Structure formats: structure tokens, C-alpha cells
Structure 1
Amino acid sequence: DLDTASSRHRLFHLLPYLERQGIRGTVLRGGKTSFSTAIRGLVLAPRVDGVFLQKKLLPAWYLAVLRGLARTIVFDFDDALYAPRSLATQDQLQLARRLGAQLDRMFRAVGLGVAGNEVLAEYSRLRSRNVVVVPTTFLAEGIEPKRHAESRPTVIGWIGSEGTLLYLDMLIPVFESLAAAYGSRIVFRIVSNSPFAFAGLENWIENIPWSRDREAELLSSFDIGVMPLLDDDWSRGKCAFKAVQMMMCGLPVVASPVGANTEVVQDGVNGYLAADLSIWTLRLSELIESPARRQMLGAAGRASILSRYAVDTWAERLGGALYNVCGRNKT
């Protein structure tokens, strides 16, 4: 699904680069109940060198049949599906346990696991002997870096799905403090498939519906990007996707020092890490008041993403791993 970030950035963007290495594939798209897609997958499995599953956990019976038909199975994932989120309900805890069991079963069946970061790779290596790390990559084409100048209001932006809006709750005291200090000089722009609201901040919070076609445009409307996270097993497994996405656009980012955020953001060099609310307020205030600082950190952030998360580099690594697991020689 192109509207799913992990599918776009971990599969579809890499396909042309894999084809240049002689790796071609048939993409099967279907929802959770797409019976025809499931049957077609079983029909194709024995005819190809391998089956690539992009974060798709399969029922036990289907996985067993597929394992018997396919030469090898590759499983790619970029979330800690095995971990419950903070403040999880009883139903959510049961779901995490069920997904963890499915994930364990998946890793017993696959020939190659592809993990989005080292935290996920460590989990995977306890269950599979063949694991490679391939971070979420970004295409630079068509994404112009932000040119920072004095702006009114200064836009502090966040982008994400409905399921991750809860992370913004931790920044409410920060938003309240900044609103009191800067008044109409700032706005908090939330880009999501669901609105975010908090009593008393109605004049500062601006909700914009997410659109794949407008994503780059919406990101470029930010002056500062934020990526708050709770420090739990679920968040530690995240791949810093939002931070990488905003940094690619030349935005200075303030992020929680959790999981892959600490690998992507070098505090004070290409962004800021904020461990508590006072640091969040301090760093955001600095960026609100200094377009020059925003420009410097934004440029440094984009340069680091271009050098570390280039699609062609990681497609080469993934291609090599696919050749190895399929028992083919690269030509």
C-alpha cells in the first residue's frame, strides 16, 4: 500500500535500485482479508527464487503452506510488533503477546530477516541466524531543503498517524509554556489522519489532514520539527522515521533520546535531543528566536541523512543479502 509509509520507503522506493542489480519481483497488494491475493501468493511461491513479506504476519496454516512451497522467505519489519505500548489496555497487551508469538513463528520460518534498526535486529537474532539491518531510506529527488528566514508565525510541526498522536500529550506543558511566552508568534501544526486537540491551546494548534501527494509540501511548511517518544520497548524499536523525514527536508529537529533517535540525531550538531520538558522548552525557544540556528541545524541534518540513508547504498546491501539467501551469484 503506497499510503503506508513503511511500504513506500522500505519496498517501493527500493524496487528500481534492486532491478538494476538484476532483482525483479511481482508485487502483490491486498488487504487483510484479500483471499485472491493470498491464493495468488501460494501459486507464485514455487516459481520464484524467494518470497518477500513486508511487515506481513501470516496465519500459522498459511505460513506453513507457504514455507513448503517457497524456496525461501524474507521478512522485513520496522516496528517492535512484539512490545506493548505504554499505558496499554488489557486488549492491547493481549494483542502484543499474540503478535509476538506470530513474529517468533515467522522468524523460525524465514531464510532472511530484514530489520529497520539494531534494536529490532537484536530481537531478531535471538530467533533467526540470518538477519541484516536496512534502515528506512528516503529519496532526495524533488525534496528541496527549507530556506529558513524570519517568519510569522514560526511553525512547530509534527507529522504522524492517529496511533502516534499520544506522543504529543507529553509536550502539552511545553506547548503551554511556549504559547504563553510567544503568543501569536508561533503555531503548532499537526499533520495526521486524525485531529489533535487540547483545551486552552485552540488558538495555537492547527490540524491539517495528511495526504501522500502533499506530504513534501506540508513538511516544507514547518520551520521546526518535533519527534517526542515515550521511553518504552515499543518506542525503542522505532526507526526514527519522522526525524529522518523532517531532516531530509532541511528542518531542525528536536527529538526524544529514545531508540534510533539517538543514532540519527547528534545533539547540537544536526538537531537536538531533549530528555526532559525543560530541555524541550529551551531548545524550541532557541530555534523560534534564531532563523540562523534553524538554517544551520537544518542543513547539517539534511547532509547527514543524505550521507547515511541514501537509497542506492542500502538497496545495494539488501540486494546482496537477497542474492545470498536465494543462493544466487550477483552478476
Structure 2
Amino acid sequence: MGVYPPPLRMVRPLWGMLSVMARVPDVLRSYAYDVTLLQREMLSTFVTLESLTHQPRVLDVDDAIWLHRRGGYTKQLATICDAVICGNSFLADQFGQWNKKITIIPTAVDTDRFRPALSVQKELLIGWIGTSSNFKYLYMIESALREVLDRVPHVRLRIIADKAPVFEQIPLGRAEFLRWAPEIEIKGIQEMAVGIMPIDDSMWARGKCSYKMLLYMACGIPVVVSPVGMNKEILDIDKVGLGAVGEREWVDSLVLLLESESIRREMGQSARCVAVEHFSIQVLAPKLANTLLVAAGRGR
């Protein structure tokens, strides 16, 4: 039926009823398993049949979903679950108010797929990957990116997304757009010299789990990111890149990395090690499995 309500309000009641009915087989199927894992509400911003699923229930959260309009459902959803898995400490602090059994498990990266390229890319690319809904963060540093491109003439900007951004200050020919597809995202990141993740210092941004930052790092790419929330926690682990606040820091950080191959190489190697040792599937899958076993009364 679709995850989100249809734009036409008059059909939403029918859409909601049909969406809930479509979930009934899933509710019944949950009784064949030891644990029910909920990764979101069954009907957008409403708690409906979740309490009818088989217990124990575990809620998995990787965004500050309580900030959504009608976000009050979040407390109810957390309350009916036996445990909550949170993607970072900021989320854990919030959900800890509603459920005492909290486990922090960051978003995992497949470091076997996302890995450094075998050959070195000669062209210098500043790269960003994400969805067009997050272009607002990219536009936030557009003037800084323009200055970097002015100061380092042989550098270009690469955007990997579902559609092309519309820049007002980036010169024509200095930015390229790659439409996201599974077969191009890895090579598209591997060819970057620096990966960027600008975000604002908001409650929503603090709830983010730094996935694009981790993708760059897994590919051995140094990062320049806004040091907010989990981004800062990852920066504090090792020298994987630089944190930038304000236009001047964005410009200086990017220019430093673009003009020094040795610094890029050193930080890229550290970034890869941090991704593998702290955020890989091999490290985090056993933690997830144990959390689910504990919820089912079979772990320790």
C-alpha cells in the first residue's frame, strides 16, 4: 500500500484501513518466530497492530523519529516493546526515557563491498552521496565549495543521488552528477579524493547515524564533515578526517586535504581501519544477534 500517506487527504482513511489490513498476515506470521523485530510503525505515525505481534518485541531505531509531526506515537511504540536498539547515543538517551532496555548498535557497513580501489584515481574529486531530500545540507556549504574550486582549479565536485542538484554558485563544468544505482555507487565513492557530509546542528541531525560518512571511510576516503552528533563521535576515534564548522573551516579543511596527498593517504588508511574495526557487518552482526537472543531469553 505504500509507506507514506497519499497526498490526497480524502483517500487517506481508505488507504490507512487497507494498509493495516495488509499487515494482518505479518502479525500472524510473527507467532512462528522467537522475536518480533520492529523497524518502524506499521502505519505512518500511528501505532495500530504492533501490540498484537508476538512477544518479545524489539524496536530498531536509526533516526530521531519522535521529531516527526505526530511524533507522539514513538513513545507508545517504545513502551510496548521489550527492548530498543538505537543507532547512536543521542537516540539512546531519548528512548531510554521510555524503555530501560536500550542497546546501542551503530549502522553497519559492508566493508567487503565498500573497500578501497585497487588503483589510485588521478583526478581529484570532492564527493557527496545521498538522496535529493538532503540537498539542503549541500547547499548550506555551496559558497565554501565554490571558493575551494576557485583555489584548486583542477578539482571537481561529484554528486551521487537520485536526481541532480541545482547549484547557484558552482561554475558549469566543475560539478558532475551520477544517478545513484547499486552498480555505480561503490566505484563512484572509490574515485573520490575527499568525502563530505555537511549537516546542521539540529536535533534531527544529531539523530543521524553517519552512514554516508562511514561509506566514504570504508572505501579508504578521508572525510570533511560537520562535527555534530555521531559524526563527532567517529572523528574522535582516530584521525579519519576533519570536522568543519563555518565556511572558513570548510574551505581550509578541503584545501588542506586536496593539496596534500600524504595527509589524504594517512587519514584514508585510518578511516578504513576504523570502519572495519568498529562499524563493519562482521563486528556488529554478532552484537545484533546477541541482543535478539537476550530478548528471547536465550542469550547473555
Same-fold status (TM-score > 0.5): yes
From 66, 70, 90, the equivalent of 1:119 is 90
Using the alignment, how far apart are the partners of 1:178 and 1:309 within structure 2? 31
Residue 267 of structure 1 and its aligned partner are, at CA, apart by 8.8
Q: Which residue of structure 1 aligns with residue 158 of structure 2?
A: 189
Instruction: Tell me: higher relative CO, structure 1 or 2? Use CA pairs within 8 A at least 6 residues apart.
Output: 1
Q: Which residue of structure 2 aligns with residue 47 of structure 1?
A: 32
Using the alignment, how far apart are the partners of 1:251 and 1:148 within structure 2? 13
**Closer, same or farther: CA 260–148 of 1 in aligned 2, 3 Å:** farther
From 275, 294, 297, the equivalent of 1:324 is 294
Residue 66 of structure 1 and its aligned partner are, at CA, apart by 3.8
Using the alignment, how far apart are the partners of 1:245 and 1:207 within structure 2? 18
Residue 76 of structure 1 and its aligned partner are, at CA, apart by 0.6
From 199, 214, 238, the equivalent of 2:208 is 238
**Residue type of the alignment partner of 1:112:** A
**Closer, same or farther: CA 71–228 of 1 in aligned 2, 3 Å:** same
Using the alignment, how far apart are the partners of 1:162 and 1:61 within structure 2? 23
Using the alignment, how far apart are the partners of 2:237 and 2:56 within structure 1? 42
Q: Which residue of structure 1 aligns with residue 61 of structure 2?
A: 77
**Residue type of the alignment partner of 2:227:** P
Using the alignment, how far apart are the partners of 1:33 and 1:165 within structure 2? 33
Give CA-to-partner distance per residue, 1:46-74, whole Å, 9 cap, x none: 222221122x2134998554423412211
TM-score by length of 1: 0.79
1:190–1:208 Cα contact (<8 Å) kept: yes
Using the alignment, how far apart are the partners of 2:92 and 2:174 within structure 1? 40
User: Which residues of structure 2 form unaligned runs of 5+?
Assistant: 1-16
1:212 is the counterpart of 2:168: no
Residue 230 of structure 1 and its aligned partner are, at CA, apart by 0.4
1:117–1:237 Cα contact (<8 Å) kept: yes
Equivalent runs, 1:222-233 vs 2, <5 Å: 222-233=192-203
**Closer, same or farther: CA 186–44 of 1 in aligned 2, 3 Å:** same
Residue 150 of structure 1 and its aligned partner are, at CA, apart by 7.7
Greater Cα shift, 195-204 or 239-248: 195-204
Q: Which residue of structure 2 aligns with residue 97 of structure 1?
A: 69
Residue 117 of structure 1 and its aligned partner are, at CA, apart by 0.3
Q: Which residue of structure 2 aligns with residue 249 of structure 1?
A: 219
Same amino acid, percent of matched pairs? 25
Q: Which residue of structure 2 aligns with residue 15 of structure 1?
A: none
Using the alignment, how far apart are the partners of 2:179 and 2:256 within structure 1? 28
Equivalent runs, 1:27-46 vs 2, <5 Å: 37-46=22-31
Equivalent runs, 1:278-297 vs 2, <5 Å: 278-297=248-267
1:67 is the counterpart of 2:51: yes
**Closer, same or farther: CA 143–242 of 1 in aligned 2, 3 Å:** closer
Equivalent runs, 1:163-182 vs 2, <5 Å: 163-182=133-152
From 263, 266, 274, the equivalent of 2:233 is 263
Using the alignment, how far apart are the partners of 2:237 and 2:278 within structure 1? 17
**SS where residue 206 of structure 1 aligns?**
strand
Residue 158 of structure 1 and its aligned partner are, at CA, apart by 0.2
Aligned residues: 283
Q: Which residue of structure 1 aligns with residue 8 of structure 2?
A: none
Give CA-to-partner distance per residue, 1:149-176, whole Å, 9 cap, x none: 5834x10000001111110111111112
Greater Cα shift, 137-146 or 277-286: 137-146
Q: Which residue of structure 1 aligns with residue 14 of structure 2?
A: none
Using the alignment, how far apart are the partners of 1:149 and 1:49 within structure 2? 48
**Residue type of the alignment partner of 2:215:** Q
Give CA-to-partner distance per residue, 1:166-220, whole Å, 9 cap, x none: 101111111121122223x011100001211213422212111111232111111
TM-score by length of 2: 0.87
**Residue type of the alignment partner of 1:47:** A
